[in-house]
Structure 1
Amino acid sequence: MTKRFKKMVVAFLLLSFPFAGVAQKKQPFNKQKMDSLLSVLESKDKLMGAVAIYQEGKPVYNRSIGYAMVDGNAKEKATTATRYRIGSISKTFTATLILQLIEEKKLALNTPLSTFFPEFENASAITVEHLLNQHSGLMSFTSVPTYGLYMTQPKTQADMLAIMASLKPIAEPGAKYDYSNTNYVLLGYIVERVTKKPYAQVLQEKIVDKLKLKDTYYGGKIDRTKKEAASFKFINNQWSLAPETDMSIPHGAGAIVSTTKDLAVFINGLFAGKLISMASLEQMKTIKDGYGLGLVTLKFDNQVSYGHGGIIDGFNSMISYFPEQKLTMATTFNGLNINPSDAHVGILSIAFNKPYKVPTYAAPKNLNLDLTKYEGTFVSQQFPLKITMRKEGELLMSQAQGQSAFALEPRSSQNFVFEPAQIEIEFKANEAGVFDQFTLTQGAGKYHFTKE
């Protein structure tokens, strides 16, 4: 679980596409086209994981691609029964538990944090609602550099409370939205304080048992005997095991394990009133500064869906429910070598029967590149790290000072990309045909480099 959670929510909020109006006539689901997309993503090492589409609460598609485990040359294929860490989708589960407790009169939206954890600065002014809608002003413990030093090690609740309470708030309670994992770890602890039961047991009793979910639970160390997937990063043209967060840390903010099937059943059950009242659901759906009570919105084809995204280690998951069409998309990725938004565009385009061309990811034809002409160490006055370009076999490798190397994909003789990080590089050659300059673009940032 990292600071990329915040970026995930932003991506979820902004995933909006300029398609024409909704088709008047409902068309059958195009399974063949969805299979084609996932087969290309798998064969080109762009993605590993699972995708499910539900219509009116019933499954119309569920498929997994890639591997659940990779151990040297031994590879274990994923199946639709493979279980994945779902990261911040756990927040929607936690928000649901809190609203259930509110309906039981055991808690209220205006209950102050000081009722449970007075050691936090501004605790008497921070309410349960502030925690739910990310307006507490509490800093996210995952945004602090030291988080990376302990994320793989077990922590007690006392340890985590000390870490989180030591962080200076970034805003006054209620003043502004700021995505913070601290909020939902505290909400998970509040569930335990109110019920006097472990979070895992409350999750089981109040959600899992009610919806008869078979593969959803509070996670632990990844165990292949439980059909649990590891997560991976694509480095040096191969899938490499990602670090494994100890699940004592993310708690109610990101510790749940599930499958695409269970996620689809969960959000359909939530919107069908099987877990909370419709009045409570409306509270969850009330968006303030882009965030509701454990739900965010996604727009597609001028239609609004509700759900949440999740990132933890190399896992990247999403649930999205479109009430108008009663359509659900659930994804659980454990390896990405592509911008996840690109994958979701394709999946939703096919699910909604919109015009969409399945990409081939074929390397540009007739590109006979002399990669030695790109080699060198480059510096920028706008960027603090030197970047080295070097040829390795048929690949052009890029490596920032002190960082891991990764392979760039050519789009032309001048343009290269690294899709997982949304990096675009445009080279410029000198009179001798040697590429001694490039411009690196990532998001809103643009940096000019010259060869030393």
Structure 2
Amino acid sequence: MFKRLTALLVAGVMVLGIPIAAGASRNKAGKNSKFHISETERFKEYARISSFNKIMDKRRNSKSKDEREIKMNIEKYLNAAAQNSNFHGTVLVEKAGKVILAKGYGMANYENSIPNTTSTRFAIGSMTKQFTAMAIMQLLERGKLKLDDKLIKYFPDFPRGEEITIHHLLTHTSGIANYTNLAEYWALDPENVSEDIILNLFKNKPLEFNPGENWNYSNSGYFLLGVIVEKITGKSLDSYWHKNIFEPLKMKNTGILYKKGKKMIDTVGYVGYLDIQPIDDLLTFKTTYGAGCLYSTVGDMFIWDRALYTCKLASKKTMDMIFSPQVDTKAIGYYGYGWVIQGEGKDKEIFHDGALLGFSSIISRYVERNTGIIILTNNNSNGSGIFKIKSDINSILLGKEVDLPVEKKAITLDAEIIDGLVGNYEIAPGLYCIITREENHVYAQITGQEKIEVFPESDTKFFYRIVDAQITFVKDTNDRLEGLIINQNGASIQAKRIEDDGGQVLQQAA
């Protein structure tokens, strides 16, 4: 199961990390930057999968099923995902406050054979933002701040701080550069980081747009919100959360990931898909602050979900503001205060996902149906498949029949067949996919990246083991090879076969 992994990046199609356009600068950054998946790309992936599942649900037969049958179908699906797609994490599904299913899958630590359970603590990444937003809204209720407060009030020398408001930070409309997308961030020494060091990464970067005129997801905004909570209260964000959220709700297994010089969870984060490896997550554990520094369990997130149906933490007026569409993202629906809002009626979904190196998570709330799905995993977003798993579980809850994950089986091809596929394929000018053979092994290499082995399912279909992606070779009506298609997360990219140019293309790919 454990193999050396690398990143394969295809113009807009993530085969393990970031878009190819960013590849050159990332090569100078830290070794783990290639495993970072930008929030914008995650949301695009979610939108593709969600849209596809909605189309499929219209075609699927819907049958009335009792709770026991629904639970059985969800368990059957998740068992297949664990067995055939290497899903490892913990899942909780609930309706009207009653837990339908809560179960762990795979290992929290493969090296020491420690299984995931409902008590396993996971890094929840950007799901932290809903807690930061709640802290800000509580301070609003108490008259400690206003949503139209200018950033300059809390950071007097912040460039253009007189134009940026707390509302802009909450809704990702500030225009401030996202520091986790900067090469300088990934080059940081995790043993020498601080709030000031993080602030100075993005503080003097030009705004990407005028505040309030556009939307672009930015961890920097929620980093600043966390610091604002600390400035107003005179307490650490950790202390504020515990006193005002975690302790009142008795969330005993939620807290910050790194405290007093040590990690607060033992769960190991992994990257990959069918083949995985552990990854060094110290940098992101120590530097995500109000944007993504929390760990939790499915049990605690269930407590949180149920509290959001009440006024235990804030008034109804404030709760309505949090879950109201504040800005149209033009891509994934609307953004509220720390939450994404999609759909209408029984399809209305209020959700947020999260991802740190080696971890991915999602909480999805169908408030009209009083139903929730919580998935926490110790694998990166592309490897865990949480978006499709979440969508398929929702379809099962609606009484739909879904396809179970199936095992990917490699076959042996004759060298003659493989040689017929070997060659250069142009994705775009200057961007190529090179197919080569070494003995009976087939490799794909994208411009600027390392070559990665792909495995044949048939004469023309191959799959990756490091990520859930496939290559299909396309022939014309005369059985002549025309090109290939790379598929991942509902997106496809085509490449046209070109003539050998004496090795020039291969040199560019190296």
Q: TM-score range by the shorter chain?
A: 0.7 to 0.9
The answer to whether the 8 A contact 2:175-2:208 is kept is yes
Deviation at 1:206, TM superposition (A): 1.1
CA–CA distance in structure 2, aligned partners of residues 173 and 399 of structure 1? 41
Q: Which residue of 2 aligns with 1:311?
A: 355
1:207-226 mapped onto 2 (5 Å cutoff) = 207-220=245-258
Paired residue type of 1:184 = Y
Does structure 1 residue 414 correspond to structure 2 residue 454?
A: no
Residues 1:393 and 1:157: Cα distance change in structure 2 (over 3 Å): same
Cα distance, 1:340 vs structure 2: 3.1
The answer for the alignment partner of 1:324 in structure 2 is 368
TM-score (norm: length of structure 2): 0.78
Counterpart of 2:401 in structure 1 is 355
Change (3 A) 1:331 1:220: same
**Residues 18-37 of structure 1: matches in 2 within 5 Å?**
18=55, 19-20=57-58, 27-29=66-68, 30-37=70-77
Instruction: Provide, for residues 337-381 of structure 1, a one-character-per-residue CA deviation record: whole Å limited to 9, x for no partner.
Output: 3643322222222233322232323538xx653364367463536
Return the letter of the residue paired with 1:233: V
Contact 2:257 2:285 in 1 (8 A): yes
Give, as a single letter, the amino acid of the residue that structure 1 aligns with 2:369: Q
Report the counterpart of residue 293 of structure 1 in structure 2: 337
Which one is further off, 261-270 or 206-215? 261-270
Residue 104 (structure 1) aligned with residue 142 (structure 2):
yes
Instruction: Tell me how far 1:441 sits from its aligned partner.
Output: 5.0
Structure 2 stretches lacking a partner, 5+ long: 1-32, 329-333, 501-510
8 Å CA contact retained: 1:319, 1:328: yes
Bigger mean CA deviation after superposition, 21-30 or 265-274 = 21-30
Cα 1:174–1:250, aligned 2, differ >3 Å: closer, same or farther?
same
Report what 2:180 is aligned to: 142
Q: Which has the higher helix share?
A: 2
| Paired AA for residue 338 in structure 2 | G
Please tell me the residue identity of whatever aligns with 1:35: E
Distance 1:152 1:199, change over 3 A: same
Q: Structure 2 matches for 1:43-62, cutoff 5 A? A: 43-62=83-102
Paired residue for 2:494? 446
Q: In structure 2, what residue type is equivalent to 1:242?
A: I
Which amino acid is the alignment partner of residue 117 of structure 2?
A: T
Distance 1:228 1:277, change over 3 A: farther
Aligned pairs for 1:242-321 (under 5 A) are: 242-244=279-281, 245-287=283-325, 288-289=327-328, 290-299=334-343, 303-321=347-365
How many residues are treated as equivalent by the alignment?
447
Tell me, in whole angstroms, the C-alpha distance in 1 between the residues paired with 2:37 and 2:471.
Answer: 25
In 2, are the aligned partners of 1:409 and 1:416 still within 8 Å (CA)? Answer: yes
Deviation at 1:424, TM superposition (A): 3.9
In the alignment, structure 1 segments of 5+ residues that lack a partner are none
Contact 2:97/2:306 (8 A) holds in 1: yes
Post-superposition offset of 1:93 = 0.8
Alignment partner, residue 153 of structure 2: 115
CA contact (8 A) 1:374 1:436 kept: no
Kindly state the Cα deviation for residue 408 of structure 1 after the two structures are TM-superposed.
3.2
Contact 2:144 2:232 (C-alpha < 8 Å) held by counterparts = yes
Please point out which of 224, 236, 239 is paired with 2:276: 239
Alignment of 1:69-108 (within 5 A): 69-71=109-111, 74-108=112-146
Displacement after TM superposition at 1:137 (Å)? 1.0
Q: Is the deviation greater in 83-92 or in 397-406?
A: 397-406
| Alpha-carbon distance change, 113 to 225 in structure 1, aligned in 2, over 3 angstroms | closer
> % of aligned pairs identical?
23
Q: Are residues 151 and 184 of structure 1, via their aligned partners in 2, closer, same or farther at CA, if it must alter by over 3 Å?
A: farther
**Bigger mean CA offset, 40-49 vs 203-212:** 40-49
Per-residue CA deviation, residues 295-325 of structure 1 (Å, 9 max, x unaligned), is 1024499511212111111211100111111
Amino acid at match of 1:447: A
Structure 1 vs Structure 2 CA RMSD: 3.4
**Equivalent position amino acid for 1:255 in 2:** C
User: Any idea what SS the aligned residue of 2:80 has?
Assistant: helix
Shift of 1:161: 1.4
1:9 is aligned to 43
Amino acid paired to 1:36 = K
Q: CA deviation at 1:409?
A: 4.9
Displacement of 1:133: 0.7
Give 1:115-134 correspondences, 5 Å limit: 115-134=153-172
Q: CA deviation at 1:427?
A: 1.8
Cα deviation per residue 1:151-188 (whole Å; 9 max; x = unaligned)? 74541111111112021110111111111111000001
Tell me the equivalent position of 2:25. none
Q: Is the 8 A contact 2:123 2:294 kept in 1?
A: yes
- Which of these residues, 144, 160, 171, is aligned with residue 198 of structure 2? 160
SS, match of residue 110 in structure 1: coil
1:374–1:44 CA distance, 2 compared to 1 (3 A) = farther
Q: Secondary structure at the match of 2:187?
A: helix
Which AA in structure 2 matches 1:173?
P
Question: Bigger shift: 335-344 or 433-442?
Answer: 433-442
Q: Which residue in 2 is equivalent to 1:179?
A: 217
User: What displacement does 1:96 show?
Assistant: 0.6
Distance 2:344 2:374 in 1: 15
Q: Does the residue aligned with 1:337 lie in a helix, a strand or coil? A: helix
User: Which segment is superposed worse, 351-360 or 79-88?
Assistant: 351-360
